[in-house]
Chains A and B, each alone.
Chain A
Amino acid sequence: MQVLQYLINGISIGAVYAIIALGYTMVYGIAKMLNFAHGDVIMVGAYISFCVTNYLGLPAIVSVIAAMGVCTILGIIIEKLAYKPLRGTSSLAVLITAIGVSYFLQNAAQLIWSSSPKNFTSIVTMDPIALFDGRLIITGEVLVTVLISALVMVGLTLFTGKTKTGKAMRAVSEDRDAAQLMGINVNQTISTTFAIGSALAAIAGVLLCSTVPTLMPTTGSMPGIRAFTAAVLGGIGSIPGAMLGGILLGIIETLSKAYLSTQFSDAIVFSVLIIILLVKPAGLLGKQVQEKV
């Protein structure tokens, strides 16, 4: 029963990683860049939601929508100002700029909301479900998180598979130049991707802080790195891969903390990543691309 409880907790935190990882994976697939500022967009989303519920006293759902709106706009602005001018140049230059953006967001948040942690109240008001005479407890947060992440994944899969914009996104990620020649507006497609990724980050931020209720300017960075790891683990660029990677990572983290060692959970998580990459160099569901000679 204990194992089951840990498993459920693992899936719950993993589902949050998965939503963040989806943002990483989409942006990577299309703009071919590691957006290190993604984790900090999560933090901004959580702060917006916190402010809307605590200072304006509006209901939780409104706060989530507000967070999504602000993050979407933020994502588009970041892309336009910081990343777009560097498109086509060294990917390392873009990476460093992303780091600059990450510093900027963290320090801006510190100026606005101060560095002292805020106590985030969960947006979920559902009572926990107790099973097997209370030996197994599923909290409302767990249910909502898992449900939302499943919805997000299905939604995204349908979106990229069925809609015109989604197909354009896939085309751009396969071959940007060819897509442009086919009349796809590459700049707009990349903007859309950032918008979607940032909106997802907002959702992830709210869910993350509902599960782990301390909110600080650095709240986003470690889950950001974890989620990035999850995206690579699942095969970066792949939507189901991000989902699988996120959940796996969550489970490994929870189980290793419970049964192996609390101090070494980081080392264990990253070791699993390394082992998987050695066996499958493009991640679990990634496509292996061989260089043509």
Chain B
Amino acid sequence: MNEYSKKMLKVPTYTLLREQDMDKLPVLDVRNLGIDFGGLTAVDSFNITIGPTEISGLIGPNGAGKTTIFNLLTSVYQPTRGSILINGIDTKGMTTHKVTKLGIARTFQNIRLFTDMTALDNVKVGLHNEIKCPFVCSLFHVPPYQKAEKRATEKAMELLDFMGLADIADQKAGSLPYGVQRRLEIVRALATNPSIVLLDEPAAGMNPSETTELMHQIRRIRDTFHIAIFLIEHDMNLVMNVCEAIAVVNYGRIIAKGTPDEIRQDPAVIEAYLGREEGKAEC
């Protein structure tokens, strides 16, 4: 147990802010977000505020619009309505790579690694904007470039080691087992030096022991890098144990927000999502 999870948690349901983050600028501030595809409203009136060191979860039945929300947050889609502030900056009209530079990084539900490249190179791609060297430098491989490249390798190894992946650094990303690929994607996201990481079903396809390991790692990421984590997950055990605040969406709208305990008891959630058996999720 770490220092954060011990102080559990009187979070006001309307903001999802952790107490120690209360007087700080939220890392993610989403107001009245909505998107229509053709005539179909996929997400509507989505509000959320996430503090700088918070682990929060986004749950909901399949097709509720969770991944769409992640795509909106990372500017893969442009919202029809509402605003997204990352570290206080409105992302309106920005492209994905610009939003990433504001401090948001993500993983994908259907893993998107650079399969032909080694694990190390995958992380080094994540470090791309950290290697500051003009085009001409890298064209001629001058000493400053080589130095920067060497530092990047060290940093990448450090990050891989942090997630326990140092020994697979030289393997092709596509040949790695599923669970390892998921963790490698997290490392790559961390390499972009984010202030919030979005994890899209990080435990999907993992066995129970891997999931337990992942839970520790998620907390460790937050405690080491002091960043916020926002995750979509169907594994209720993970969500209830790791997240300090949870938002539940159905049909593109938030139907409940609160601490894990509050969510467990929320009648709307139970009806829409958890089924009749209270507190036990079968999904």
Task: For residue A92, give the distance in angstroms from its CB to the closest CB of chain B.
Answer: 16
Q: How many residues of A contact B (CB 8 A)?
A: 1
B46 to chain A, nearest CB (A): 17
- B71 to chain A: which residues have CB within 8 Å? 293
User: For residues 171 through 209 of chain A, which have their beta carbon under 8 Å from a beta carbon of chain B?
Assistant: none
The answer to the question of B251 belonging to the interface, with a C-beta cut-off of 8 Å to chain A, is no
Beta-carbon contacts under 8 Å, A278-293 to B: 293
- Per the 8 Å Cβ criterion, residues 61-79 of B in contact with A are 67, 71, 76
Contacts of A293 in B (CB 8 A): 67, 71, 76, 108
For B76, list chain A residues within 8 Å (CB). Answer: 293
Min distance, Cβ B96 to any Cβ of chain A, angstroms: 10
CA distance A293 to B108 in the complex (A): 8
User: Which residue of the partner chain B has the closest CB to A292?
Assistant: B110
Contacts of B108 in A (CB 8 A): 293
Closest residue of A by beta carbon distance from B96: A293
Instruction: Please measure, in the bound complex, the distance between the C-alpha atom of A293 and the C-alpha atom of B71, giving whole angstroms.
Output: 8
Smallest distance from the beta carbon of B95 to chain A beta carbons, Å?
A: 14
A152 vs B108: C-alpha distance when bound (angstroms): 46
Chain A, residues 258-293, CB within 8 Å of chain B (1/0): the string is 000000000000000000000000000000000001
A293 to B77, CA, bound (A): 10
Q: Which residue of A lies closest to B108 (CB)?
A: A293
Q: Mark B125-142, 1 if CB is under 8 A from A, else 0.
A: 000000000000000000
What is the CA–CA distance of A190 and B72 in the complex, to the nearest angstrom? 40
Closest A residue to B109 by beta carbon equals A293
Contact partners of B67 in chain A: CB under 8 A: 293
Q: Mark A59-70, 1 if CB is under 8 A from B, else 0.
A: 000000000000
| Chain B nearest Cβ from A290, distance in angstroms | 9
Per the bound structure, the CA–CA distance linking A293 and B76 in Å amounts to 8
How far, in angstroms, from A293 to B110 measured CA to CA in the complex?
8
CB distance from A2 to the nearest CB of B (A): 45
Within the complex, what minimum Cβ distance (angstroms) separates B237 from chain A? 27
The CA-CA distance from A293 to B67 in the complex, in Å, is 8
Within 8 A of B (CB), among A207-261: none
Alpha-carbon distance A138/B263, docked complex (angstroms): 78
A39 to chain B, nearest CB (A): 35
Chain B nearest CB, measured from A69 CB (Å): 46
A110 to chain B, nearest CB (A): 42
Q: State which residues 22-77 of B face A: CB under 8 Å.
A: 67, 71, 76
B71-90 vs A, CB cutoff 8 Å, 1 = contact: the mask equals 10000100000000000000
Cα A290 to Cα B136 with chains together (Å): 35
Q: How far is the CB of B108 from chain A (nearest CB, A)?
A: 7
Q: How far is the CA of A240 from the CA of B67 in the complex (A)?
A: 36
Nearest-Cβ distance from residue B116 to partner chain A, whole angstroms: 13
The answer for the CA separation of A17 and B206 in the assembled complex, in Å, is 55
Q: Which residue of A lies closest to B70 (CB)?
A: A293
Minimal beta-carbon separation of A89 from chain B (angstroms): 16
- Report B78 CB to chain A, min CB distance, Å: 12
Nearest-Cβ distance from residue A281 to partner chain B, whole angstroms: 17
Minimal beta-carbon separation of A124 from chain B (angstroms): 48
Residue of A nearest to B200 (CB): A293
Distance (whole angstroms) from the CB of B63 to the closest CB of chain A: 13
Within the complex, the shortest CB–CB distance from B60 to chain A, in Å, comes to 18
B237-258 residues at the A interface, CB under 8 angstroms? none
Shortest Cβ distance from residue B9 to the other chain A in the assembled complex, whole angstroms: 32
Q: Tell me the B95-133 residues at the A interface (CB within 8 Å).
A: 108
A-B contact pairs, 4 of them (CB 8 A): A293-B67, A293-B71, A293-B76, A293-B108
List the interface of chain B (C-beta within 8 A of A): 67, 71, 76, 108
Which 4 A-B residue pairings sit nearest by Cβ, starting from the closest? A293-B76, A293-B71, A293-B108, A293-B67
